[in-house]
Amino acid sequence: MTPPLLDVQHLTVVFEGPRAALTAVDDVSFQIAQGETLGLVGESGSGKSVTAFAILRLLQPPGRINGGRVFFDGRDLLALSEREMRAIRGARISLIFQEPMTALNPVMRVGDQIAEALRVHGLATGAEAQNRAVELLRAVRIADAERRVRDYPHQLSGGMRQRVMIAIALACQPPLVIADEPTTALDVTIQAQVLELLRELKAQYRLAVLLITHDFGVIAEMADRVAVMYKGALVEQGPVRQILRAPAHDYTRSLLAAIPGGRR
């Protein structure tokens, strides 16, 4: 069998408090195969984003990884040096944030921000990086890319800013993309467009995707498999169709009941 691209084993994350440590991610294990989309679903505060930041080793104090292993392409990310991790972030594993207005640099043109991702990882410089930025804006369906590449984030709509974030995430053609609530801040019409774009780009670039969301409707539309997270732990996981037809956990059933026209 082909080994998984990402293999998270018994990951535990705690946040140190004045009296005791709070467990935010509790013994979480899952795998993602090459080209597969795993949906990580749960309500706000369930530990989904903390899991993503732990995988990328971007946790800020007082958060810390308290146990487990994270294998990516056969290497244990938790055993790498920070320098080795910087070579992986963006180039091998990229992250699409849920709020692009806070993730993008407000005083830097969007084209320069895309080009910077290429320069940091030594993939392009100068005019070549700028030309690649235009190509990436076209790839994420931004019209008039040659002009838009000179815009600042505040000159773009919310949907266009999210497309820029996707362009940055894809700049180095990483095999794994973590999409953290990529449509939360968008209206329903733009949400559908962004999800369709992600689906097209996944096929075009043969991406594996960890799709983090609180919306089981998005999971049903986008994911191959789903892992349901509740209070820091995974309560069930499996193929999307199987979970939709026969959810085993009460919490999963409540999430499905929240979908318009869903289970009751």
pLDDT one-digit tens code per residue, 63-103? 999 999 999 999 999 999 999 999 999 999 999 988 888 89
* Domain range enclosing 224: 1-92+213-264
The single-letter DSSP state of residue 68 is: E
Whether 258 is in a domain gets the answer yes
Whether 110 is in a domain gets the answer no
Contact 130, 115 (CB under 8 A): yes
Whether 175 is in a domain gets the answer no
Q: CB-based contacts of 64: which residues, under 8 Å, 6+ apart?
A: 13, 14, 15, 16
What pLDDT, in 10s, does the model give residues 194-246?
999 999 999 999 999 999 999 998 999 999 999 999 999 999 999 999 999 99
Q: Per the structure, how many domains does the chain have?
A: 1
The single-letter DSSP state of residue 89 is: B
pLDDT of residue 262: 58
Q: How buried is residue 179: exposed, middle or buried, by Cβ count under 10 Å (0-12/13-18/19+)? A: buried
> Once rounded to an integer, what is the mean pLDDT over residues 183-199?
89
Whether 22 is in a domain gets the answer yes
Whether 163 is in a domain gets the answer no
**Alpha carbon distances (Å) from 9 to 41, 56, 76, 78:** 18, 14, 10, 11
What pLDDT, in 10s, does the model give residues 152-176?
999 999 999 999 999 999 999 999 9
What pLDDT, in 10s, does the model give residues 43-53?
999 999 999 99
Of 126, 65, 115, 61, residue with least CA distance to 90? 115
CATH of the domain at 45: 3.40.50.300
pLDDT of residue 264: 46
Of 49, 61, 97, residue with least CA distance to 232? 49
pLDDT of residue 99: 84
The single-letter DSSP state of residue 58 is: -
Whether 127 is in a domain gets the answer no
Whether 103 is in a domain gets the answer no
* Helical segments of 79-234, H only: 82-88, 100-103, 110-120, 126-139, 145-148, 158-170, 188-205, 216-222
Whether 208 is in a domain gets the answer no
In degrees and rounded to multiples of 5, residue 55 shows phi and psi of -60, -40
pTM (2 d.p.): 0.94
Q: Is the pLDDT of residue 263 over 70?
A: no
In degrees and rounded to multiples of 5, residue 28 shows phi and psi of -95, 130
Contact 202, 211 (CB under 8 A): no
Contact 98, 182 (CB under 8 A): yes
